Amino acid sequence: MSSVTVTVPATTANIGPGFDCIGAAFSLYNQFQFTKNPEADTDLTITVTGTEAHRIKGDGSNLLYQAFTHLYHHLDKTPPKIAIDIKLGVPLARGLGSSATAIVGGLVAANTLAGQPLSTVEIMELAIDIEGHPDNVVPALLGNCQLSVGEAKDWEICPIPWHPDIIPVVAIPNFELSTEEARSVLPKTLPCGDAIYNIARMGLLIRALESGNGQWLRKAMADKLHQPYRQGLIEGYEFVQECALNAGAYGMVISGAGPTLLALTSHEQIQGVENAMKNAWAQLEITADVRSLAIDTQGVKVEMP
């Protein structure tokens, strides 16, 4: 086999109280085509299309390529000379798992071209090792909403049913927030009362997503672990949240590390919530791409010639 195309969904992580352990795959994608290029003068050629193509590194520091070579080194094999064609659909540094798409895409492509020596579980463990936590890479690989519990080499992955009446709406602003900056504001310790607050809401969140109970969602999406500390890094957070809730959203949270904001709502309120979030940021002279998405149920997709 000399070529493979891998399509990986965007993801959201945390969903309020589920910090670093819960994530869901969305119907927004990056596509990566890998073609062996044994006659090339260089080990790597990268071409990129998409609105942020100019920001993608074209050398060996590219995360997609690093994940690709990581798997070969894990197998004690020499990576082949490779040409990579990237089609970007997931915004960079916006809290929608763009790095997870690169990690999963590189590992799955390498495993395919190497003859599929590793199982899905082994690929997942490598992805978690590279990313540092499971909440984005697991749903990017497996699809759906996933709860990841454990530690290195000892993970339990639990699918969480997502009721079809719950619609995710993402508001992607035209500014970035790095994961490093978002993590830097988090507290080192947490009062016992705040821990109990989050534990209770995490349990309720799982039941609310499964049942579609909007009243439960309204309570379940709050947390005291990360959002109170991060929301100050996102201009207009409180105003956008207020407008989303007034338009009928069950709740609004930070998607991943942000700055994308995620509202969950019903079918009937989709347009109103989209308009409210977009207009709220527009009043602050911030342009935002606001859209409703679906849950991706397949995860990474592999196509071979």
The binding site for ATP consists of 91-101
Q: Give the CA distances from residue 139 to residues 51, 127, 135, 240, 283, in Å, rounded to whole numbers and listed in that order.
A: 24, 11, 7, 27, 34
Paired residues of 18 in beta bridges: 14
Amino acid identity for residue 280 in this structure = A
Binding residues, by number, are 91-101
Q: Give the relative orientation of helices 120-131 and 98-113 as an angle to the nearest 10 degrees.
A: 140
Under DSSP, the state recorded for 267 is G
Paired residues of 261 in beta bridges: 171, 254
Cα 239 from Cα 28, distance rounded (Å): 26
Closest CA to 168 of 25, 276, 279, 282: 25
Cα 123 from Cα 14, distance rounded (Å): 22
Please, is 104 exposed, middle or buried when counting C-beta atoms within 10 Å of its C-beta (0-12, 13-18, 19+)?
buried
